[in-house]
Structure 1
Amino acid sequence: MPRAIVFIACALLTCVTGIAQGRQANDGDVLHLLAITPSAQSLDYVANKRQFQLHTLLTEQRHPQTMDLSRRIASDTTAGLRELFAVDRDVTRTMDAVAADPARLRQLENASKAMQDALRHGHRVYFYGTGSTGRLAETLESSLWRPFWERAAKTPSWRKIDKALPGIGDHVRGEITGGDRALIASLEGFEDLQLIGRLQLQDNGIRRDDVVFAVTEGGETSAVIGTAKAGAELNGGRPGKTWFVYNNPDTVLLPFTRSREVIEASGITKVNLATGPQAITGSTRMQATTTSLYALGVVMEDAIHHLLAPVLSKTELRALGFDGRATIAARLREFSTLQHTVAATAPRLAAWTDRESATYASGHHTTYLAGHALMPVFVDVTERAPTFRLAPLDRVDAKERRSWIQVWAPVDDADSAWRLLLHRFFHGLDPALYAQPFATQIDDAWLKAAAARSLANAGAEQQTLYDLSFSPRNLQAVGPAQGDHGAMILLGAETPDTSSMRWLRTFTTNGASIDIIHVGDAPLLQRTVAALRAGSPRPALLDVVLPIRHDPLELDRIIALKMLLNAHSTAIMAKLGRVVGNTMTAVQPGNLKLIGRATFLIQSHVNTVLASGKWKQAHGATPPLTYAQANAVLFDVIEQRGKNPALASSPEVELAIVRILEGLRLQRAFSLDEAAALLRSRRLDAYLGGYDG
């Protein structure tokens, strides 16, 4: 039986029976063999943290299109990229389904009307999310909303706009759990607290009659649920004021108490945008976030159009990029064209993917330079760290360089770079608002301690610790060297300014390979191409031309770039062994949800091997690993790994899988040092591949 089918069958079986079996007699066999006694933390997690054991969610399942991704892409980068892009067709199906369903379409139309009503009367719109959806929320504000009004302010029609809608550019706010510092990397403990969602809504000054969009790809994120509940309470449960946007079917969410409370709440309007499994299992930064960002971007675009239609002439609206025929349904259906256009880049994109992969494989670094595209580039780069177990962006006071990647803006100081990224001032969390509620309203000791630690790293001072500029300081500290790589990203009609050209010359002169990526509705001008490729060696150019008729917020360009970058960065990590099949076995179990994901990955991969013909032929029938056993091994690995620096290069999930399988194979305790040595000599993918067939 093919490995992919075995994996699915084992996953379905263990999903239903694993936890219950954890307390049966078999529970002691593997653990006794490995000399492991379940820790108090593990026992508590299995028995009392079931609301965070999310392996039944559709977004946590393996996608059949990418089952063999890690091995396919090892031999054929283009084929691997095509697999990744193929999953984006699920987003197309969701967009088409919403456009064709009057009830679901009416939801989005009503969301647009809610935005219009609030903004027309001087109220605000608040988008909130955690992790990927938090970056989505900030993208809606800082990449779509604010830049549009900045462009509008430079047109002759601005005087009429400003008179009719004074201060409109400041009336939408996008917030990530943990504040702007969490854009760099997630802050442990925050995601699991409904309390912080409530506090951040208060911190951002959201009031009655403001409209709240709480966005969670899973539909179960505690911080986002806290925001939805607080928004509904603030508005007295009035319909149309609080919206809950999510990407899993209601049927799989209802068993989770916190999800059920929101789904069944009459004062919260639900927008279900379920797309299915992700290209990388559980990596909702990909299709789930693409779906929600596009749908909410279309709603925002529609709301702006209706706000401006009574104020501006049709000619003035066209000058701002609006097409009077662009309904929400029509825009949703246009996603298909974007998806096809981006997917067609696979053969050309592969060369860039191979170059950047080779850069990391040889121990070198990559620097991305982006101006108009800074937010989508920054988001993709920072999301690589938690997904594939990379070091986050280095701080300015770092004593050694740990991050493989850096992101620069074509400006010469850190403050200007943050301003270009956010189009507003940096927002940190003020301990005066959060410390006392954290101390008195969090019952779980682990969460209380984690939240307190994270609060210390979430304040406004965090802005000064990260420099995203093409500055003399950065050039001296982390400037390009022979063998490094540089990627310049251009969006729309953007042309490289003096600073960008200086960056290009600097990297070329110092022996870095260069890729230039442009996404727009027309090719780069020939004179621009000539200027960019005037040096030696000539940079490679990937010019992606979108068949766009209208794109006033640059939503289409940003979504196309997002899909391109998501596939590119995922392919790189698959080529470098950070993906096994289509699972992220390098995941860092840093919160309750990720502990559950790590546990299920261990259980599923082990049971796939135990069900294989080769294992049975060599060792006979072996009882499947239970969820409780997998969790006990995981917590033991986490504890030992924290004490032993020699284990730091091997992810917990991989160590646990090898330790269990080798222990069963050899019928003896197999130490973590032995597991780490095996993983240094042989990638997990190759190790597991030995049991195929």
Structure 2
Amino acid sequence: MSHKIKAQSFLEVSHQFKLGELATEKQHPKTIGLSDLSKNSLELALSAVKEIELDLIDTALFKQKEINQFSLDVQEVLSEGGRVFLCGCGATGRLSLALETIWNKSGAHKGRVLSFMAGGDVALIHSIENFEDHPDYGERQLSDLGFCESDLLIAITEGGETPFVIGAVEAASKVSSKPPYFLYCNTDSILSSAVERSKKVLENPGIKKLNLSTGEMVLTGSTRMQASTILMLVTGQAIFGLNQEWVLKLKHKLESIDLNILKKFIVSESDIYKSNGGVVYLTDAALGISVLTDTTERSPTFSLIPFEENDKDTPDVYSLCYLSLVGEEGAKKAWSALLGRKPRSLEWEDTRALTALDRLYRFDISSTSFSKRSSYCSGEQFKFNISLEDNRLKLSLMEHAEVIDFEEYDLLSIHLILKILLNTHSTLVMGRLGRYESNIMTWVRPSNNKLIDRTIRYILILLKEKGVEKSYEEVCYKLFEEMENAKKDDPLVLKTLESILGSIS
């Protein structure tokens, strides 16, 4: 199929994915120029990020009355012997899996909280392109897990418009006697006017809604940051039955941490990559899923080569970083240890090449991954150690080390703080590598309709800054032309921008 036909096909449905009016898709005024700050003033960059992260906890505190009712509903299902299902796509899918893992590792009853993400567990480590665009896939995965009348679904979507999640929540409302919850981070009025499928959910009396609007993201459109953090915080608060005092304690902990401790790690890791080296994150089963989440989400956000399937002696290409689960021998044991359960894959005939269990096991995250990487990567590999010992979080890279005391804090709190630290760290590392401009993701990978729209909008913003006016349609055709021969790690925003500017110079 030619690029023109593909572009036309997208344009025919693009009205369903034009999301530029949503707050989660807009530029944050406090982080304009973040790329320059990451290179020239890390202190200011870290200060801006911390202020925004604290704002999201204030949002959770402001919403405590609604969150309390949400928690009561969740606890009622658990007390009656029902199960709570969590689902999402991309970042919200990973936070759903993380919450199930934290539940399993916290001594709670296994099997009472279940999670699934678009594409199954394989999508945790490698994005499954276009999967989230299919509402029927959401319904299908929910059904495959045996969702029934006594169960409750918590459907989690940063923007509030993801077709996969909408498909799952609409299906759940017809199966269970417990009305499902729909969690999202944009205002109802704008969401309803911009996206018809969202309007249907918001107007459905059989679905309970919880709006957790946090405003713009630190990095424009990068909902792996504030949006997914507040969604993880609030959903975790509900399934563990935690109160407002727990949220206040979490905020106090974040306030007490000087994010400047990250400076030496940010500089060192970015310098390693500039020297053609790589980083293997060594961690334990207690923290593994949060470390894996941040490292894998760098790929779609910044158009990096994703984690390689390192079952081969010499992979053709490989990622900048990888994960090694300390003390776990073999991929199968490592994955079970990381998830706190056996992996769940999709063995569907039409998707199994991408979603099957045997593919997941080709990503060997066991204790041998550092030595494997050292054998086939051209540059030197460095160990970034992240461990939890006696409720003390330990970070070390090269000669740098830091310890954060989490005495009297639960595992959920530790994971939330670690998520914020890692998201901040990786975003500023990528800024130093030039993987975004100002606070716009110029290296975003357009792997689904939502991201195609986002890519087009970013190109239009940059063209306008240069005094060039082009239509949405013109940019769309040029983008698909560039996509036709692009490599996985090409900066398609920049390549398309250069092509358009070159044609008018």
TM-score band (shorter)?
over 0.9
Quote how far apart the aligned CAs of 1:481 are. Answer: 8.8
Cα–Cα, structure 1 residues 198 and 74, in superposed 2: closer, same or farther, change >3 Å?
Answer: same
TM-score using structure 1 length: 0.69
Structure 2 residue identity aligned to 1:368: Y
Alignment partner of 1:207 is 2:148? yes
Q: Secondary structure at the match of 1:638?
A: helix
Name which of 430, 450, 456 aligns with 1:599. Answer: 456
The aligned residue for residue 290 of structure 1 is 229
Quote how far apart the aligned CAs of 1:478 are. Answer: 3.2
Structure 2 residue identity aligned to 1:123: G
TM-score using structure 2 length: 0.93
Q: Secondary structure at the match of 1:366?
A: strand
Contact 1:386 1:587 survives alignment (8 Å): yes
Alignment of structure 1 residues 361-372 onto 2, 5 Å: 361-371=274-284, 372=286
Alignment of structure 1 residues 492-571 onto 2, 5 Å: 493=390, 518=394, 539-546=399-406, 550-552=408-410, 554-571=411-428
Alignment partner of 1:391 is 2:305? yes
Cα–Cα, structure 1 residues 468 and 602, in superposed 2: closer, same or farther, change >3 Å?
Answer: same
Name which of 398, 415, 419 aligns with 2:332. Answer: 415
Q: Distance in 1 between matches of 2:420 and 2:141?
A: 30
Name which of 373, 377, 401 aligns with 2:287. Answer: 373
Q: Secondary structure at the match of 1:467?
A: coil
Alignment partner of 1:340 is 2:255? yes
Cα–Cα, structure 1 residues 486 and 278, in superposed 2: closer, same or farther, change >3 Å?
Answer: same
Contact 2:173 2:180 survives alignment (8 Å): yes
Name which of 495, 498, 504 aligns with 1:658. Answer: 498
Which deviates more, 575-584 or 459-468? 459-468
Alignment partner of 1:136 is 2:32? no
The aligned residue for residue 510 of structure 1 is none
Q: Distance in 2 between matches of 1:455 and 1:657?
A: 36
The aligned residue for residue 113 of structure 1 is 72
Quote how far apart the aligned CAs of 1:483 are. Answer: 4.3
Q: Secondary structure at the match of 2:240?
A: helix
Q: Distance in 2 between matches of 1:460 and 1:494?
A: 33
Cα–Cα, structure 1 residues 234 and 414, in superposed 2: closer, same or farther, change >3 Å?
Answer: same
Q: Distance in 1 between matches of 2:378 and 2:444?
A: 30
The aligned residue for residue 86 of structure 2 is 127
Q: Distance in 1 between matches of 2:489 and 2:75?
A: 51
Contact 2:46 2:259 survives alignment (8 Å): no
Name which of 234, 245, 255 aligns with 2:183. Answer: 245
- Structure 2: gaps of 5 or more residues: none
Contact 1:209 1:241 survives alignment (8 Å): no
Contact 2:324 2:365 survives alignment (8 Å): yes
Quote how far apart the aligned CAs of 1:111 are. Answer: 2.4
Q: Secondary structure at the match of 2:354?
A: coil
Name which of 356, 362, 365 aligns with 1:468. Answer: 365
Q: 1:258-303 CA distances to partner (integer Å, 9 max, x unpaired)?
A: 101111110110010010110011000000011011111111221x
Structure 2 residue identity aligned to 1:406: Y
Alignment partner of 1:69 is 2:26? no
Q: Distance in 2 between matches of 1:463 and 1:455?
A: 11
Name which of 293, 318, 336 aligns with 1:402. Answer: 318
Q: 1:529-552 CA distances to partner (integer Å, 9 max, x unpaired)?
A: xxx9xxxx9732111235x6x534
Q: 1:570-598 CA distances to partner (integer Å, 9 max, x unpaired)?
A: 00000000011111111111111110000
Name which of 330, 337, 347 aligns with 2:245. Answer: 330
Quote how far apart the aligned CAs of 1:54 are. Answer: 1.2
Q: Distance in 2 between matches of 1:262 and 1:580?
A: 35
Instruction: Report which of the two structures shows the higher radius of gyration computed on alpha carbons.
Output: 1
**Once the two structures are aligned, what percentage of the paired residues are identical?**
30
Structure 1 residue identity aligned to 2:353: A
- Structure 1: gaps of 5 or more residues: 1-36, 100-104, 151-167, 303-326, 436-451, 496-516, 520-531, 611-621, 667-693
Q: Distance in 1 between matches of 2:53 and 2:372?
A: 41
Q: Distance in 2 between matches of 1:567 and 1:96?
A: 22
Q: Distance in 2 between matches of 1:470 and 1:77?
A: 33
Q: 1:424-463 CA distances to partner (integer Å, 9 max, x unpaired)?
A: 10111122xxx4xxxxxxxxxxxxxxxx4x4421012223
The aligned residue for residue 131 of structure 2 is 190
Q: Distance in 2 between matches of 1:268 and 1:631?
A: 35
Structure 2 residue identity aligned to 1:655: K
Q: 1:180-208 CA distances to partner (integer Å, 9 max, x unpaired)?
A: 00001221121001001100101111111
Q: 1:468-499 CA distances to partner (integer Å, 9 max, x unpaired)?
A: 1112x75245359984321111225268xxxx
Q: 1:377-430 CA distances to partner (integer Å, 9 max, x unpaired)?
A: 010001011001111111123433411111001122222211111111011112
Q: Distance in 2 between matches of 1:650 and 1:476?
A: 26
Structure 1 residue identity aligned to 2:57: T
Q: How many residues align?
A: 498
